[in-house]
Amino acid sequence: MPESVFCRTERANLAQSIESSVRNSTNLKKEKAISSILPLQNRKQEIEMRDLYNRKQKLAHWILKAKTELDEPERTHVLQFIEYMQEKDNSILWIVRCITALLYIRRQIDKPFIHWKKEDIKALFVWMDNKNYKASTHEKFRKILKIFYRVVFGKNEFHPDSVNWFYTQKGKEKSRKGFRYYRIFGRK
């Protein structure tokens, strides 16, 4: 840990005041004790970090957008999910990501979340494949859907049947497709 300028100058002043012939082990112990106390005093000052992303404003914006963009049964479900994530102390940026993903997913299928079936979610995944989303985006959307359905419709105890059939890690499947292609056509 780097020493502060204040600590170095005080140590230098202490060293100058002690003659080299007088310096002994007790003076060195005092010097070490002084240097170990000073950083502790400096640590007590609270460091206020700036929020470069304006997280609280961004969260308020997306909550308002969820309230205005969604109809009543979905609005209460999404707000319930947001409340759960805030109680769980999830990061604000993750909560915003979940809200944006749910709003985006909702635009693709014209049914309320409560009426979605396995076929609707399969259609969503096919649509995502056709849009050539990265594997990480697939995984995030799948993870968000699973958590949302577990919290809202599964009473945070189980995954409903509509989302229980798929895995969150689509990336392994996508990366294996390329591997199989090269093995089939003889490329190593």
Q: What is the pLDDT of residue 99?
A: 96
User: Rounded to whole angstroms, what are the CA distances from 123 to 51, 108, 161, 167, 176?
Assistant: 39, 9, 16, 15, 22
Judge if pTM exceeds 0.75. no
Q: What is the pLDDT of residue 21?
A: 47
In residues, how long is the chain?
A: 188
Q: What is the pLDDT of residue 166?
A: 86
Walking along the chain (188 residues) 10 residues at a time, the average pLDDT comes out as 53 52 56 54 63 89 94 92 94 95 91 90 92 91 94 89 84 50 44
Contact 73, 106 (CB under 8 A): no
- How many Cβ atoms sit within 10 Å of the Cβ of residue 180? 9
Q: Say how far apart CA 43 and CA 1 lie, in whole Å.
A: 12
- For 162, left (φ over 0), alpha (ψ -120 to 50), or beta? alpha
| Residues 10-64 pLDDT 10s | 555 555 555 444 555 566 555 655 555 555 555 555 677 788 888 999 999 999 9
